[in-house]
Amino acid sequence: MAAHLKKRVYEEFSRVVQIPHEEAPAKKLRLSKPSKSAALHIDLCKATNSTDALQYLLQFARKPVEVESVEGVIRILLEHYYKETDNSVRLKIASLLGLLSKTNGFSPDCVVDDVINTLGNEKSHQVLAQLLDTLLVVGTQLPESPAVRPRLVEVACKLLSDTYFGVRNKCLQLLGCLGMVDTPLAKDSDGPSSSIGGVRDVQSIISNYFSDQDPRVRTAALKAMLQLHERGLKIHQIIYEQACRLLSDDYEQVRSAAVQIVWVLSQLYPESIVPIPSSNEEIRLVDDAFGKISHMVSDGSWMVRVQAAKTLGSMLQVSPHFLEQTLDKKLMSDLRRKRTAHERAKELFASGEFSSGRKWADDAPKEKLDTNTVNLIASGACGAFVHGLEDEMFEVRIAAVEALCQLARSSPSFAEKCLDFLVDMFNDEIEEVRLQSIHVLREISTHITLREDQLDTVLAVLEDSSRDIREALHELLCYTNVSTKECIQLALLDLLKNLNKYPTDRNSVWKCLKFLGSRHPTLVLPLVPELLSTHPYFDTPEPDMDDPAYIAVLVLVFNAAKSCPTMPALFSDHTFRHYAYLRDSLSHLVPPLRLPGRKQVYSLDSVDPGCGSGSVESAKLFLQQSLNRVSTIQNLETPGAQDLLNFTIRDLQRLGELQTELAGAADFCATYLRCQLLLMKALQEKLWNMAVPLCLKQNVTATAAAQQILEETYKLEFLYSGLESRQVATIHHVRLQAKALQLILTARTRPGLDLLISSCEKFLQEIESFQRMFLTELPHLQDGFVDKLLELMPRLLSCKPVELVKILQSSLRQSGLLQLRLPEQIHRASATIIEPTGESDNPLRFTTGLVVALDIDATLEHVQEPQDKVKVQVLYPDGQSHVIHPKPADFRNPGPNRHRLITQVYLSHTAWTEPSQVEVRLLLAYSSSSSSPSSSIKSGWSDSIDGLPPAEAAVEGTIPFSKPVKVYIMPKPARR
Amino acid sequence: MPEIKVTPLGAGQDVGRSCILVSIGGKNIMLDCGMHMGYNDDRRFPDFSYITQNGRLTDFLDCVIISHFHLDHCGALPYMSEMVGYDGPIYMTHPTKAICPILLEDFRKITVDKKGETNFFTSQMIKDCMKKVIPLNLHQTVQVDDELEIKAYYAGHVLGAAMVHIKVGSESVVYTGDYNMTPDRHLGAAWIDKCRPDILISESTYATTIRDSKRCRERDFLKKVHESIERGGKVLIPVFALGRAQELCILLETFWERMNLKAPIYFSTGLTEKANHYYKLFITWTNQKIRKTFVQRNMFEFKHIKAFDRSYADNPGPMVVFATPGMLHAGQSLQIFKKWAGNEKNMVNPFPEQRKLDVKMQVEYMSFSAHADAKGIMQLIRMAEPRNMLLVHGEAAKMEFLKGKIEQEFNCYMPANGETTSVITNPSVPVDMSLNLLKREMALGGPLPDPKKPRAMHGTLIMKENSLKLVSSEQALKELGLNEHQLRFTCRVQLQDPHSDSDTLHRIYTHLKSLLKDYTIQHLPDGTVMVESIVIKVSSSAEDANSKVLLLSWSYQDEDLGSYLSSLLKKGLPT
């Protein structure tokens, strides 16, 4: 019963994947289908009226057609087309022609003539449009065909004068997709293209339709122009004026497309000069376009507003004068100039006074305005972002925030100005917008220093009940510069309040204070006595060391003390003791300090990571030297090689611990060398000279070694990011060696001939695929194992298995150690489970057969696409293991190369007599086929073709990449 | 010339008792029917005697449209319909129809029961009046009669506020009512399509103001309330029952939710409670956020806001109370104020106290208002692209400024109460054209009609029973049962020519043949020359053989050629 229940529960609450131990080889089936053309022909002949025919065609369209019979089917369809009188059937046939032309492997140029012929005789406008659509499909299938393209363009030009909008639309689309790419060339060479058939410039033809009477055609014309741009044609500047006029079109889709065109032109010709109408002045085109697009931020349609707001963000060439106008808002009240709340806040801050709203009308307007100077009709960029940020639709607001961010990143002065507005957005009604604006502020925070009143507003958000918001804000505070010591105090107080209200934020708050301290040592200094509550005369009680708030204060102080040598003098005795304790327990938060008379505290850390870039350089040098030393090993049998490897591995591991920046690289090298060491041990001389039955034991170790090397190579390949193909080749090379070793061992132990032959063949295939994959890298692999094998390849292919094994054995032993070349940056993927901590002694009790949800909170570093790769494994004491895929929404991305996984896993088990521990850890899934670029392309008609078998049988597996955490659980038997 | 006349009976250069008469295309429409808050005498209601001295208004008005439920826009409605007398249709949106009677009833109670006025409308009258109301949906075109149609647009401001587009034929007027171009916590921004009306009648309360962003105000408000609550103080927020109260509730409710606050928020019972009920119902009229999330949770079902009881005021600990009325001059808000004023921890927001009272509590002033500011008005103008502008619902001095700004682009009017503004329109007259004729004309010209150029064409205009038709002349003859008449011009030309008649004719023939190369010229055996369809005959005059008389005859269609020939022949033949 319980088991049954449990099964049900799993089905409902989680997706559990059992790791398959053995994969049965999939059987390949090739289904041959009866020719479809014949069947279609019969069906169509049977059809008595148009409705029937339409039904048959609809049914036919549901099933795919194989490549061989496409041609036949098209003939039959065309034949029927000529006979058919009903428009709808002809329409369907035309659309089928288009679909069929898309079939992979079918060259549709034979369709073109027929379709163009039918165009001439067609009366129905709808069918005409559909036929043109078919031509469009054909045209996009054959983009390079010199014969087809001019014909299609010609057809399109001819039909452009049709009265039906659909036909004109399709013609414009055709022109956009296929219009002469060589027209720009025609200018300088006065070339043949312009003379052929007197084809006019496609751009001017398209731009004629900018003023078509039908809005749909206008849109299509604009889109076609954009298409031309996307295909790499240079759009002429002449259409700028026309496009600007379309910005005030009655129809939103036209305006939206016009915004895009204007943007494209502003990027193409930013510096050319355009006149301002009704005055003699002239301005840069990009500024003009910026003003016009800004104007669209207060458009009537929100789609256009989103489009405009997004577009503004990418116009980085705009002059600062125009940029700053976007935040301009002149307030007035009863025709008197009024200061904005932002300005008032600033003044209050400057005057050192901190009260507002206490006086009646303290925001009362003062100076009188001249009516002539007030500009009500927003011209140009005036206040575009002010409008965008206050918009009704959150899509517009988000777009505006993003645009602000992009612009602010490139202009520090603008960043300073938009600060107030971004801070205002922290109070938006939609969480997404709030979060986005916090992220944005973080991104531009290098440019800005927060004032006290601004910081105050920012800190108010720390009480938000949403964890994402709070953590984003912590992240922001990590990067923030503040101006006064009061700010530091304010921030500290609010963070402590936050810690008090939401204790789970502990780590995040501490980390935040770490950065705050190390950024502002001089501001923290005057606060130290107060923070540590020391007193010149009196001894104050020693604070509780386990209090998270006290730790938070200490983290702030110690990090500030790192670059402020005078600070430790202010510490009292217990502070030093606490320092020693925290330095050990929270070493990632507390930096090493040079404390007077306390040298023993940091004497261990002789290679101080804080000593600047010099140490990194020297560490790099050391790494390189170690690698060079190893490379002196000629081949695997060099005496003393093992010791050298052993020492180098030890050195590298220590280096990785000391120098965090090189940890990835050092680790990578060490693992690689360990593989080599294992290989060396397995190949030791004495092992191989003994008769087989005598050395069973050694055989076992060698087999284990081979297996381990294989596993390590997968780790090397998939756990590290930043690898180049050269390193990957080296890793594969090691893998090949391990596989050779396995083969040799197989040959020695089990002389069953069939098995041997098949494994030999497999090995040879692997060599070939290696050669194919790393053709460019082969020169670097000289003197390696593969190099030797490839020389002997012709012999290997012909010789017997036994001989092959012998060759392998000798070349394995003689081949040299490949030198490892390090890439620029190499990072090891790592994961830390923050929660559960594994410290709890209280078991999680639940009724058997039901589930208990376990909250998991983990940080992942240097993991690409964690949504697909990271899994949670739960290991029960009875050896059962479950793998759970977290939902994509559970991953957050707080910073570059960092991810955060906050999810719940559901545990369940049959009843236990006493509580016991389950292990939870994170796995990184890999699949060797995923590294090849063309993974799977699926289209509607191609399912009849089996995808090519991957070059190498895909190896899938998982690498545990976090420390396991133990969780105490207790499933109780259900009470009946 | 056709014209549109606009006469404000109220709200002309004034705020209060909005009531505007519009006559357009022969239809008379009353826009809003409000009362003035400032008066207790006859000036309270619009002067309906302007329309007619005696008798009912039904004969003079085609319809009445109410833009929203504020009393200065609907307060005089029962008086007009029941006491003055009007039985025609009254249009308003669904929320307005729901909330309007509550407010009217409340207004009646205060006036009659508290102030003891007589000769005022009764509850029954309100009910009867509401029976005449026809509800409107947004963007729904309603045919009032065959010619008059109205369409409502979203206006923000308060729940159910609408702008109306009134159209007769091709003439149209847009009346905005009160509107707001910046969205707030519970309502969206006003929106209208590019309907290009002849007149846009806009409110102009904030004609001389450009406001700061809403966010600063909200943040300020929340911060002050939050600080006061954290100190353990009590916060009193005097509000009017409807409109801003709901906005502030939503604001506080979401803030409480976000910040995980526990202090209670109370709302004075009565009117507001009833109104909140309707806010819950009319979700489609609220802003994006409320509309999108109401499936999970209706924002107006407050979690933290509860109904207030008098005894709660003495409860210890922090609390926030919304109390009516907003002026703090009477009622619950005053009572609570007196109770709390002694403690400096407490806070009131936003109106000052005039009597002597030892006020230790903090007083903060905030204003939340939902009218479009000067920029908002301009934005609406840009959206609608009207041909003329008419300002109402604002102070004359402020309007002057905005008028000046608008007149840089087009005409702007600001009539006072009782003053009529007329705007001349040139409405386009739609004419049905027969398809055959259209096709024929299309075939003559280019393939596509150029929308920017007018084109001349031949046809017959038939006016029959109020409909206009343009058909080809043949069809017109057939339809009207008329025979076709031919109009011919004849003309005699005296010519000195010594030859015989037939010779002269031949000479004319050769002469014309040499000159007019592109025309068909025939010499017919019956003694005539035909140039196209023009007939030329020769006869010698009785007295003088040498002088010949040429007889030219041509039909009306060939007028050009005919007159050319006659002038040509007058010059004589070449010798």
pLDDT attached to residue A90: 87
What length does chain A have?
976
The rounded Cα A715 to chain-centroid distance in angstroms is 22
Is residue A234 situated within a structural domain?
no
User: Is residue A158, in this structure, part of any structural domain at all?
Assistant: no
Residue, of A15 and A534, whose pLDDT is higher: A534
Residues B336 and B253 in one domain: yes
**Domain match, B417 and B335 both:** no
Min Cα separation A846/chain B (Å): 30
Residues of chain B contacting residue A298, judged by C-beta atoms under 8 Å apart: 379
How distant, in Å, are the alpha carbons of A453, A516, A731, A791, A928 from that of A781?
A: 63, 49, 11, 13, 21
Domain CATH for A964: 2.60.40.10
* Among A844, A885, A840, residue whose Cα is nearest residue A867: A885
In the predicted structure, residue B162 carries a pLDDT above the cut 90: yes
Q: Is residue B513 part of a domain?
A: yes
In a 13 Å sphere around the CA of B272, the CA atoms on its Cβ side amount to: 28
Q: Which range, B14-18, B255-259, B420-424, B490-494, has the best average confidence (pLDDT)?
A: B420-424
Residue B201, pLDDT score: 94
Local structure of A921: helix, strand or coil: strand
Q: What's the pLDDT at A377?
A: 54
Determine the residue type at B61: L
Q: Is A660 found in the same domain as A519?
A: no
Per the CB < 8 Å rule, is A356 touching B220?
yes
- CB environment A352-376: b (16+ within 10 A), e (fewer): eeeebbeeeeebebeeebeeeebeb
Q: Tell me whether residues B451 and A213 touch, CB distance under 8 A.
A: yes
Best residue of B139, B195, B210, B366 to probe chain A, by most A CBs closer than 10 Å:
B210
pLDDT number for residue A868: 84
Tell me, yes or no, whether A688 and A789 share the same domain.
yes
Evaluate whether residue B56 is within a structural domain.
Answer: yes
d(CA A748, CA A743): 9
Q: Phi and psi (nearest 5°) for A487?
A: -60, -45
- Is the pLDDT at A345 greater than 80? The verdict is no
Q: What gap in Å lies between CA A181 and CA A145, rounded to an integer?
A: 12
Is A49 within the bounds of a domain?
A: no
The answer to whether residues A530 and A408 belong to one domain is no
- B145: phi > 0 → left, psi -120 to 50 → alpha, else beta; which? beta
Percent of chain A residues past pLDDT 70, beyond the cut: 80
Q: Is residue A736 left, alpha or beta, with left meaning phi > 0 and alpha meaning psi from -120 to 50?
A: alpha
Closest to A46 measured CA to CA, from A61, A57, A36: A57
Q: Which pLDDT score is estimated for A380?
A: 58
Q: How confident is the model at residue A934 (pLDDT cuts 50, 70, 90)?
A: very low
Report how far Cα B248 is from the mean position of its chain's Cα atoms. 31
Considering only the beta carbons, identify the residue of A334, A389, A429 that sits closest to B208. Answer: A334
Residue indicated by tokens 């965090």: A660
Tell whether A940 is covered by a domain: no
Q: Is residue A862 part of a domain?
A: yes
Give the whole-angstrom CA distance, residue B17 versus residue A284.
52
Using a CB–CB cutoff of 8 Å, tell me whether A396 touches chain B: no
Q: Which helix (H) or strand (E) holds B463?
A: strand B460-464
Q: A133 pLDDT exceeds 50?
A: yes
**Per mean pLDDT, which of A624-633, A799-808, A889-898, B415-424 is the most reliable?**
B415-424
Among A103-112, A186-195, A382-391, B136-145, the least confident range: A186-195
When CB atoms are compared, the residue of B254, B362, B452 closest to A429 is B254
Please, are residues A38 and A900 in contact by the beta-carbon 8 Å criterion? Answer: no
| b/e burial code for range A222-254 (CB count within 10 A of at least 16 → b) | bbbbbbbbeeebebbeebbebbbebbbbebbbb
Q: What is the mean pLDDT of residues A766-787?
A: 78
**Chain B contact present for A370, CB below 8 A:** no
* Residue B59 parent element (H or E): none
Same domain? B274 vs B378:
no
DSSP strand E in B55-154: where?
Answer: 63-65, 90-93, 133-136, 141-143, 148-154
Are residues B472 and B499 located together in one domain of the fold?
no
Residues B379-408, mean pLDDT to the nearest whole number: 89
- Same domain? A572 vs A646: no
**Nearest alpha-carbon partner for A563 in A603, A530, A594:** A594
Q: Which residues pair with B174 in a beta bridge?
A: B165, B200
Q: What angle do CA B526, B531, B534 make, to 5 degrees?
A: 80
Q: Is B330 or A806 the better-scoring residue by pLDDT? A: A806
Active site residues of B: 203
Query: With bands split at pLDDT 50, 70 and 90, how would you rate the model's confidence at A771?
Result: confident
| Cα–Cα distance, B320 to B302 (Å, whole number) | 14
What pLDDT score was predicted for residue A336?
61
Structure tokens at B391: 């300002």
Distance from CA of B187 to the nearest CA of A (A): 9
Please give the pLDDT value at position A355: 39
Q: Which helix (H) or strand (E) holds A686?
A: helix A685-689
| Domain shared by A572 and A516, yes or no | yes
Q: Which band of pLDDT confidence, cut at 50, 70 and 90, is reported for residue A634? A: low
Decide: A724 and A776 in contact? Cβ < 8 Å: no
Place of tokens 């007197």: A198
Total number of domains in chain A: 4
User: Rounded to whole angstroms, how far apart are CA atoms B320 and A6?
Assistant: 50
Would you place residue A335 in the very low, low, confident or very high pLDDT band (cuts 50, 70, 90)? low
Residue A780 confidence class, pLDDT cut points 50, 70, 90:
confident
Assess whether B479 and B502 both reside in one domain. no
Select the more confidently predicted residue: A644 or B393. Answer: B393
pLDDT in tens, A676-713: 888 887 777 555 655 555 566 667 777 888 888 888 88
- Cα–Cα distance for residue pair A951/A773, rounded to 1 Å: 9
B174-199 confidence digits (pLDDT tens): 999 999 988 888 888 999 989 999 99
pLDDT score for A304: 93
Q: Has residue A601 got a pLDDT over 50?
A: no
Instruction: Give residue for tokens 């106008």.
Output: A325
> B50-78: per-residue pLDDT in tens?
888 888 889 899 999 999 998 889 999 99
**Strand A844-847 relative to strand A965-972: parallel, antiparallel, unpaired?**
parallel
Smallest Cα distance from A149 to chain B, Å = 26
User: Could you tell me if A590 and A626 lie in one domain?
Assistant: no
Give residue A605's pLDDT.
43
Is residue B279 predicted with pLDDT exceeding 70?
A: yes
The residue with greater pLDDT, B399 or A103, is: B399
Whether residues B201 and B255 fall in one domain: no
Q: What angle is formed at CA B31 by the lines to CA B25 and CA B35, rounded to 5 degrees?
A: 150
pLDDT at A193: 39
Q: Are A398 and A277 members of one domain?
A: yes
Q: A737 and A803, same structural domain?
A: yes
What is the count of structural domains for chain B?
Answer: 4
In this predicted structure, the answer to whether residue A60 has a pLDDT above a threshold of 90 is: no
Range with the poorest average pLDDT among A160-174, A567-581, A680-694, B486-500: A680-694
Res B392: pLDDT: 92
A766 shares its domain with A707 = yes
Q: Are residues B7 and B149 in the same domain?
A: yes
Residue A357: which pLDDT band, with cuts at 50, 70 and 90? very low
Whole-angstrom distance, CA of residue B85 vs CA of residue B59: 10
Helix or strand (DSSP H, E) at A618: helix A613-631
Instruction: Judge if B472 and B495 occupy the same domain.
Output: no
Q: What is the mean pLDDT of residues B462-472?
A: 85
Burial of B13 by CB count in 10 Å (0-12 exposed, 13-18 middle, 19+ buried)?
A: buried
High-pLDDT (> 90) share of chain A, %: 8
Please check whether residue B285 lies inside any domain of the structure: yes
Most confident region among A63-72, A433-442, A948-957 by mean pLDDT: A433-442
pLDDT, tens only, B346-383? 777 654 444 455 566 777 766 677 888 888 898 899 88
Verify that A430 and A573 share a domain, yes or no. no
Do residue A844 and residue A774 come from a single domain? no
SS3 A171: helix
Q: Does A331 touch chain B (CB under 8 A)?
A: yes
Task: Find the CB nearest A371 among B182, B219, B401.
Answer: B401
DSSP, collapsed to helix, strand or coil, labels residue A384 as helix
Inter-chain contact B194–A390, Cβ cutoff 8 Å?
Answer: no
Mean pLDDT is lowest, of A10-14, A115-119, A284-288, for: A10-14
Q: What is the mean pLDDT of residues B302-306?
A: 86
My answer on whether B168 and B35 are in the same domain is yes
Domain membership of residue A394 (yes or no) is yes
Reference A797, options A823, A773, A771, A779; nearest CA is: A771
Q: Which two tokens stand for residue A777?
A: 């890298």
Judged by average pLDDT, the poorest of A518-522, A585-589, B349-353 is B349-353
Asked whether residue B452 is domain-assigned, the answer is: no
- Chain A from 456 to 495: CB within 8 A of any B CB: 457, 460, 463-466
Mention every residue, 6+ apart, whose C-beta is less than 8 A from residue B573: B495, B497, B504, B507, B508, B511
Q: Which residue reads 């708050």 in tokens?
A: A509
Question: CB-based contact (8 Å) between A364 and chain B?
Answer: no
Q: What is the pLDDT of residue A197?
A: 39
More confident residue, A31 or B16: B16
CA–CA separation, A68 vs A77, rounded Å?
16
Alpha helices in A314-389 (DSSP H): 320-325, 341-351, 384-389
Q: Which amino acid is at A698?
A: Q
**Same domain for B142 and B27:** yes
Place of tokens 């957005």: A425
Residues of B in contact with A501 (CB under 8 A): 260
* Local structure of A872: helix, strand or coil: strand
pLDDT for residue A638: 65
Q: Quick check: helix, strand or coil at residue B555?
A: strand
Give, for A803, the enclosing helix (H) or strand (E): helix A801-814
At position A318, the amino acid (one-letter code) is V
Which residues of B fall within a CB distance of 8 Å from A393?
Answer: 288
CB contact under 8 A, A424 and B226: no
Question: Considering only A86-100, A188-202, A205-219, B25-39, which range has the smallest mean pLDDT?
Answer: A188-202
Using CB atoms, pick whichever of A333, A341, A428 lies closest to residue B216: A341
Residue A938 pLDDT exceeds 60? no
What pLDDT score does A644 carry? 82
Q: Are B206 and B372 in contact (CB under 8 A)?
A: yes
Co-location of B163 and B111 in the same domain: yes
At A351 the pLDDT is 55
Domain boundary residue among A814, A839, A864? A814
| Per-residue tokens: A145 | 């065909």
pLDDT averaged over every residue in chain A: 78
Domain annotation covers residue B526: yes
Element (H, E) at A12: helix A2-13
Residue B506 reports pLDDT greater than 50: yes
Q: In CATH, what number is assigned to the domain containing residue B268?
A: 3.40.50.10890
Sequence-distant (≥ 6) Cβ neighbours of residue A402 within 8 angstroms: A309, A310, A313, A436, A440
What's the CATH code of the domain at B528? 3.30.310.50
Same domain flag for A687 and A736: yes
Residue B37 contacts residue B48 (beta carbons within 8 Å): no
Contact A333 B209 (CB under 8 A): yes
A338–B contact, CB cutoff 8 A: yes
Residue A774 falls within a domain, yes or no? yes
Domain of residue B64: give its range: 3-210+370-424
Strand duo A965-972 + B171-175: pairing: unpaired
The pLDDT confidence band at residue A846, using thresholds 50, 70 and 90, is confident
Q: Can you tell me the mean pLDDT for A53-59?
A: 83
Which residues of chain B neighbour A374 with C-beta distances below 8 Å?
374, 401, 405
Stretch among A393-407, A819-833, B158-172, B189-203 having the lowest mean pLDDT: A819-833
Query: With an 8 Å Cβ cutoff, is A379 touching chain B?
Result: no
In the numeric block, the tokens 């709030």 are attached to A434
**How many CB atoms neighbour CB B503 within 10 A?**
12
Residue A192 above 50 pLDDT? Answer: no
| pLDDT score for A308 | 93
CATH value at residue A310: 1.25.10.10
| Inside any domain, residue B450 | no
Assess if residue B451 is contained within a domain. no
Q: How far apart are CA B419 and CA B530, in angstroms?
A: 70
Q: Tell me: do B469 and B524 sit in the same domain.
A: no
In this predicted structure, the answer to whether residue A635 has a pLDDT above a threshold of 80 is: no
In this prediction, residue A3 has a pLDDT band, given cuts at 50, 70 and 90, of low
Domain containing residue A621: 617-814
Pick from A435, A517, A511: which is nearest to A482 by CA? A517
Closest chain A residue by Cα to residue B381: A377
| Residue A235 token pair | 């759009």
Residues 6+ apart with CB under 8 A from B305: B249, B252, B253, B265, B266, B267, B322
Across residues B84-113, what is the average pLDDT?
Answer: 90
Q: Please indicate whether, in this complex, the C-beta atoms of A463 and B260 are within 8 angstroms of each other.
A: yes
According to DSSP, the β-strands at A331-333 and B63-65 are: unpaired
Closest CB from B189, B215, B401 relative to A392: B189
Average pLDDT value for residue range A167-193: 65
A897 lies in some domain: yes
The 10s digit of each residue's pLDDT in B202-231 is 999 888 888 777 787 788 888 888 888 888
